Amino acid sequence: GLPELPVRPIAGRRLSRRIEVGPVAVGGGAPVSVQSMTTTRTSDIGATLQQIAELTASGCQIVRVACPTQDDADALATIARKSQIPVIADIHFQPKYVFAAIDAGCAAVRVNPGNIKQFDDMVREIARAASASGTPIRIGVNAGSLDKRLLAKYGKATPEALVESALWEASLFEEHGFRDIKISVKYNDPVVMVNAYRQLAAACDYPLHLGVTEAGPAFQGTIKSAVAFGALLSEGIGDTIRVSLSAPPAEEIKVGIQILESLGLRQRRLEIVSCPSCGRAQVDVYKLADEVTAGLDGMEVPLRVAVMGCVVNGPGEAREADLGVASGNGKGQIFVKGEVVKTVPESKIVETLIEEAMKIAAQMEDDGVTS
Ligand code: SF4
């Protein structure tokens, strides 16, 4: 027979320092948080706050805003004050905006080593201001803006180059006793990115912000991020994540949350277990699964709903779930907690499932079960 191989569990989390991004703890065993970045002009305060509200509603826990101009810097105070979630100012090139962001009450500031080098002598002042206000700094290394010195040394943006850049930048702050830092080493190739984060995780104890940068349009970017974050998070590496998509930011949050739920790092909310359909299917499974998903959108309790096309695996899966349907002969057997509660005609499957789901959700809420 086959040798018995041990099942490898998901690793324990890497022990990182903890920083506080406003009320959200990052690192030190805190739950992995999901973040995104606004796409509005930051100086357009109304539009930016509107987008932050949408992001908050979709589950975003930390939001980053770009700060390329003085008008953007001037908008930070209002945005930081009115945002429901902590705001990180994203700053390249201009040290004066770092001070502006700290004064504005931003929860953290992101700087980029390739671009910060020119203000080495400013690091002491930044460290002092950030310390005094308790504002953490994210050191965000990107392959695209890697320090020229390191590009020359390594020939290209290798994992080693990204890590050396990040650690060098961190050391500039450490010289001034500042360690309230999280680090990212983003790259568009998941393989390079995963290796960079692995090396960085072994070389320091700073909390890590995971990202595959310029990951691409929604489909490709989702796959790249899921593969890379899945590899790292299953090794216990990563304290906060940002999925980068060429798509509306709320999409990034949806994907980020799904990744954490899939890895068991966050309790699932609604999970639809639906079969891929095959030649045995006796209902249109895609349509049924879409309709059930849409009907249960926004459900806040962890509910597993099985939508199965026929009676082969149908009853088994439907029984395992909180709620399910196994279809056949123009009818649907509706299961609740493993018991057939009713059999309904095909046209009534969706409404019956939604009705039963609402009952279970109400019961769960009464019992205090929420995700
Ligand atoms: Fe095919 Fe039935 Fe399995 Fe769906 S549940 S994939 S229809 S065998």
pLDDT of residue 311: 75
Note the ipTM here. Answer: 0.98
- Contact status, residue 356 vs residue 341, Cβ threshold 8 Å: yes
- Report the Cα 281 to chain-centroid distance in Å: 35
CA distance 235 to 8: 11
pLDDT of residue 298: 78
Of 165, 102, 157, 176, residue with least CA distance to 139:
165
Q: Name residue 303's beta-bridge partners.
A: 270
> Does residue 204 have a known ligand-binding role?
no
Q: Is 228 in the pocket of ligand 1 (CB under 6 A)?
A: no
Q: Tell me the CA end-to-end span of the chain in Å, nearest whole number.
A: 42
pLDDT of residue 121: 72
> Does residue 275 have a known ligand-binding role?
yes
Phi-psi region of 334 (alpha: psi -120 to 50; beta: other; left: phi over 0): beta
> Does residue 60 have a known ligand-binding role?
no
CB neighbours of residue 288 within 10 Å: 24
pLDDT of residue 25: 97
Q: Is 289 in the pocket of ligand 1 (CB under 6 A)?
A: no
Q: Which residues of the chain have pLDDT under 70?
A: 1-2, 5-11, 113-120, 314, 369-371
> Does residue 317 have a known ligand-binding role?
yes
Report how far ligand 1's centroid is from the alpha carbon of 224 (Å).
29
Q: Is 286 in the pocket of ligand 1 (CB under 6 A)?
A: no
Q: Is 364 in the pocket of ligand 1 (CB under 6 A)?
A: no
pLDDT of residue 132: 96
- Contact status, residue 307 vs residue 288, Cβ threshold 8 Å: yes
Report how far ligand 1's centroid is from the alpha carbon of 267 (Å).
27
pLDDT of residue 281: 87
pLDDT of residue 98: 94
Measured by CA distance, the residue closest to atom 2 of ligand 1 is 310
For the stretch 286-317, pLDDT in tens is 999 999 999 988 787 888 899 988 877 767 77
For the stretch 220-257, pLDDT in tens is 999 999 999 999 999 999 999 999 999 999 999 999 99
pLDDT of residue 72: 97
CB neighbours of residue 244 within 10 Å: 21
62 φ, ψ (degrees, to nearest 5) = -145, 140
Pairing relation of β-strands 19-21 and 331-336? unpaired
**Atom nearest to 276 CA in ligand 1:** 6
